[in-house]
């Protein structure tokens, strides 16, 4: 098992680096509503879960492509990667800002766990689990 935090990038294994780059790619695809890119990064049996909700791959891609708000920024913090052969688990916090119809910017903070599997020598996102905080923690800005 290999485990790391994104702040120690010089000590990361090749697999950990690849997973963190993939997370950044996913953040960018979500921000840009790029369902085609996301589709290439998700397993066929991908599932997104949050309290009281479970969404399959096709519905998740549709939701990302048609998200009604403009995502102005999205980033991950406190990212930790654990790699177990052909499986990797990423935990962290996602901070996002989005503008609604009236131009008002809202911030969301989500604790997440992403599970990646290696299929045909390519890391793919298989499961995403997220829990949104009621409001941004005071120590974050």
pLDDT in tens, 74-120: 999 999 999 999 999 999 999 999 998 788 888 899 999 999 999 99
What is the residue extent of each domain of the chain?
2-132
Is residue 8 predicted with pLDDT exceeding 60? no
Tell me: the pLDDT tens digits for 27-57? 999 999 999 999 999 999 999 999 999 999 9
**Between residues 4 and 116, the one the model is more confident about:** 116
Model pLDDT, residue 82 = 96
Each as own residue / partner, the long-range contacts of residues 46-49 (CB below 8 Å, 24 or more positions apart, any chain) are 46/125, 46/126, 46/127, 46/128, 47/126, 47/127, 47/128, 48/127, 48/128, 48/129, 48/130, 49/127, 49/128, 49/129, 49/130
Query: Is 0.75 surpassed by the pTM of this model?
Result: yes
* Bridge partners for 119 per DSSP: 122
CATH of domain 2-132: 3.10.450.50
Q: In what order do the strands lie in the sheet with 122-132?
A: 2-5, 70-84, 87-99, 105-119, 122-132, 42-50, 53-56
**What value does the mean pLDDT take over residues 7-13?**
70
d(CA 42, CA 38): 6
């Amino acid at each position: 098992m290999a485990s790391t935090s994104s702040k120690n990038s010089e000590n990361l294994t090749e697999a950990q680096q690849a997973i963190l780059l993939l997370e950044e790619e996913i953040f960018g695809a979500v921000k840009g509503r790029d369902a085609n890119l996301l589709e290439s990064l998700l397993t066929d049996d991908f599932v997104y879960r949050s309290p009281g909700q479970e969404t399959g791959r096709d519905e998740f891609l549709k939701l990302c492509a048609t998200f009604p708000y403009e995502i102005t920024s999205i980033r991950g913090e406190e990212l930790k990667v654990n790699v177990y052969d052909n499986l990797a688990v990423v935990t962290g916090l996602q901070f996002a800002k989005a503008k609604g119809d009236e131009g008002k910017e809202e911030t969301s903070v989500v604790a997440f766990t992403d599970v990646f599997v290696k299929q045909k020598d390519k890391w793919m996102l298989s499961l995403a689990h997220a829990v949104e905080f009621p409001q941004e923690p005071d120590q974050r800005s």
